[in-house]
Structure 1
């Protein structure tokens, strides 16, 4: 059996426990059966945003007439070249990691899966490895619904949708979460006639006003079928045939491509955890305590596989926390999460940090709500903004922001004003003491704060 100081399973956020401790002299083994860099680099946030950005440009161009602009000529995409460029870029980034590991005498890279044979013992390509500490950051993968006829058809998940080099004429998207919406929006902007088949609501974990506003805004530009259950899938002669049902009854729909984006599942079933004392919850996510320790001493887990947050920025935070506490400070510390934001890169964008109004009501927390539309600002008027707004939830007692929710242009950037304020434990008054550039998008956030102050002063 080969022994290391550190053994890491998963090369996404897991990289935070590879090179940094190796530079301190620790011997590290990194296990990755797929491409190095994890989901975000290879089949997630990075390639998707490289595809979505040009889609946003096309979406803006389609609205050019609203600004008295006549953009001549066909607005088309060289889809094959675009996808090949994106794929080549992320592949080169992934491939660059291997030489760095090979040059580091303290890192051993195993391009294989790892399965536990007992506590703190992992079988890798026929070898047995152990370590003083094992870190599981093996992530999640798409969860495929049990729809009759779906299995065996050439449907796409996000992985295939990001690598497909031919643009389908008619794309069907099953799912109303951010993955299906982002990729479906991009394909639609590039020219695919896209239909979104959504069982309940879109982006259903967002604040209720954001959900309502997004469905209204998104449905103006896209073909959205809410409350739709897909009952059966058939694939014949290159065409998907879907039998569906909604409030109006049964209907059928066809397309030459199908994207299934109905959620994710943890990769714990690939680890043979039944051979250990590592416990999982009813959904298969690894149970961890406030130290990110599993129920097996010396084994830690973080990232998507623990089911807490599902963002690359959150797993990076967790990995950096573990490195700092265990290998720099050398203290057993509880993880203390600052406010964790997120964004949906559709058109319009959505971003949020903190609690939703539904959560505050459920938890019995006192709050006031203030909403300010983009249109009631100079820059919003310049952009002819519609259906876009900033919503903040404020504690009447402490005057601190409990949650901030945005739908509109550059929401993923604008949200950071509230992220910083909440991280610094600031109040409404701190937000209003600032001088804002005029005219700029942050004025919309300031105006929401002014509305909140007015409500609180009544």
Structure 2
């Protein structure tokens, strides 16, 4: 006889743990299952460990920027020590999360869950039944269907490399590729190549600011190949040859590691959703604005669902909505997305919130574009930043901020403040009227709008 629960959560990351805790607090009998260590991609294999590595490489960048300005030093990255530093966080998270779940009465299961019916799953040979399910299995690297694809390592593998390869190539030009390329070069890689099939890297970010980042990336010593389609990856002993097609013909790069950085897709193939009566597409599990699937007893949230942007805070927000509707027994709360900021943690950082110029024009909006390079501003000069700037779209008539795009030091927090202002409906003049601590990165915002 199968064990029964009120709720089974499939996925032990951000989009699932909050729902499990909400139900347990309400007295429900809850189980949470994951085939990987509890914590999810962001905490263990993505955002958090990546930024710990970036923190170390910021020391390299700081030294270079301050050279000749009173700071004389030589720094280098010890890769193994940096990975050990990262593990001081990632190794402690799974047991901490599991202990926290068990403390509130949640049954923690390890294994791969597969639906066998609308209210049943099998986890590594053991059957379970539940009144409700919540799916938060995240995303996985997409399949590229190119010869030699098996030679690619994933972003997860990159974060566990025992040593920094002398030559490394990244297939793709998005967040992962650009951030890891910057880490690799500052960590001592002699040759770093990014191969992107589109006209430019970071296609979702402002083209003028991405061009500035491309200049900084080139100066760093990273070889950016755009309009380049990878054709094949071949292995020869311990090295790899990546063949890629360009407008001028087929080229090749020889390297010691090749990293999959082309993008991610919903991690749902293994769930047998058909048995549960849950519809899905290439975008993910079909959910309503209440985060309910086509099986009314099953909810989904985060990167596995066809909902909001694939960002950790979004999955947490969607999980909160799903949890409230689960406990209410009806669709009480609809998900509403505020202006959502996004940051590429290269050095310099690139950040965005709201509409791009193209999107604003397509909507027929009338606006002013405030665009300026700010390497001559005090906040950039103070830290030796050579690439910084902003582009802010201010709607004519209302004075409201339609979109904000930043590059340079402080961008990750400036964009959060701009997102708050946009959510509050503040006008450019109202933002100018704010008084921030000075001198600070925040104090520059009034001059941007």
TM-score (norm 2): 0.93
User: Is 1:204 the equivalent of 2:203?
Assistant: yes
- 1:248-259 to structure 2, matched below 5 A, reads 248-259=248-259
Q: Output the CA distance in 2 between the equivalents of 1:100 and 1:437.
A: 38
| Secondary structure at the counterpart of residue 31 of structure 2 | strand
Superposition deviation, residue 426 in structure 1: 1.5
Q: Relative to structure 1, is the Cα distance of residues 439 and 284 closer, same or farther in structure 2, using a 3 angstrom cutoff?
A: closer
Q: What is the alpha-carbon distance in structure 2 between the residues aligned to residue 57 and residue 140 of structure 1?
A: 32
Secondary structure of 1:368's counterpart equals: strand
Alpha-carbon deviation of 1:440?
Answer: 2.0
> Do the aligned residues in 1 keep the contact of 2:111 with 2:124 (CA within 8 Å)?
yes
- 1:41·1:94 contact (CA, 8 Å) conserved in 2? no
User: Using a 3 Å threshold, how does the CA distance of structure 1 residues 325 and 367 change in structure 2: closer, same or farther?
Assistant: farther
- RMSD of aligned alpha carbons: 1.9
List structure 1 segments (4+ residues) > 4 angstroms apart after TM superposition: 328-331
**CA–CA distance in structure 2, aligned partners of residues 248 and 67 of structure 1:** 43
Provide the C-alpha distance between the structure 1 equivalents of 2:249 and 2:202, rounded to a whole number of angstroms.
Answer: 24
Q: Deviations over 1:119-145 (max 9, x none)?
A: 232222333323332111011011132
Separation (CA, whole Å) in 1 of partners of 2:330 and 2:286: 23
Cα distance in 2 for partners of 1:337, 1:140 equals 20
What is residue 165 of structure 1 aligned with on the other side? 162
Change (3 A) 1:328 1:380: farther
User: Could you report, residue by residue, the CA deviation over 1:73-98 in whole angstroms, capped at 9, with x for unpaired residues?
Assistant: 4x222211221231243111212222
Q: Which residue of 2 aligns with 1:242?
A: 242
The equivalences for 1:139-158 within 5 A come to 139-151=138-150, 153=151, 155-158=152-155
Match of 2:371 in 1: 371
Which residue of structure 2 lines up, in the alignment, with residue 454 of structure 1? Answer: none
Checking the alignment, whether the CA contact within 8 Å between 1:243 and 1:251 is kept in structure 2 is yes
Checking the alignment, whether the CA contact within 8 Å between 1:349 and 1:408 is kept in structure 2 is yes
1:176 aligned to 2:177? Answer: no
Shift of 1:27: 1.2
Does residue 322 of structure 1 match 2:322?
A: yes
| Within-5 A mapping of 1:323-402 | 323-327=323-327, 332-402=332-402
- Cα contact 1:5–1:132 (8 A) shared by 2: yes
Contact 1:175 1:197 in 2 (8 A): yes
8 Å contact kept, 1:117–1:275: yes
CA contact (8 A) 2:11 2:137 kept: yes
* 1:126–1:245 Cα change, 3 Å: closer
SS at match of 1:34: coil
Q: Quick one: structure 1 residues 264 and 365, their matched pair in 2 at CA, closer, same or farther if it must change by over 3 Å?
A: same
Question: Where does structure 1 lack aligned partners over 5 or more consecutive residues?
Answer: 450-458
The Cα shift of 1:330 comes to 7.2
1:329 CA drift (Å): 10
Q: Say if 2:293 is the partner of 1:294.
A: yes
Matched, 1:186 2:216: no
Q: Where does residue 11 of structure 2 map in the other structure?
A: 10
Unaligned runs of 5+ in 2: none
Instruction: Summarize the Cα distance change of 1:116–1:354 in structure 2 as closer, same or farther, 3 Å threshold.
Output: same
Between the aligned partners of 1:216 and 1:77, the Cα distance in structure 2 is 23
| 1:51-70 correspondence to structure 2 within 5 Å | 51-65=53-67, 67=69, 69-70=71-72
For residue 26 of structure 2, the aligned residue among 24, 27, 32 is: 24
1:40 is matched with which residue: 42, 49, 57?
Answer: 42
Partner-residue secondary structure (3-state), 1:205 = coil
- In 2, are the aligned partners of 1:377 and 1:443 still within 8 Å (CA)? no
Q: Deviations over 1:179-238 (max 9, x none)?
A: 111112111101002111121111111123233332233222222122222222111120
The Cα of 1:68 is off from its aligned counterpart by 5.0
8 Å CA contact 2:23–2:323 kept in 1: the answer is yes
Q: TM-score, normalised by structure 1?
A: 0.92
**Cα distance, 1:353 vs structure 2:** 1.1
Alignment pair present for 1:95 and 2:95: yes
- Residues 423 and 130 of structure 1: CA distance in aligned 2, closer, same or farther (over 3 Å): farther
- Superposition deviation, residue 16 in structure 1: 0.6
User: What is the CA–CA distance in structure 2 between the aligned matches of 1:157 and 1:277, rounded to whole Å?
Assistant: 32
SS state at 1:145 partner: coil
Deviation of 1:375 (Å): 3.0
Instruction: Note if contact 1:208-1:357 (Cα within 8 Å) is conserved in structure 2.
Output: no
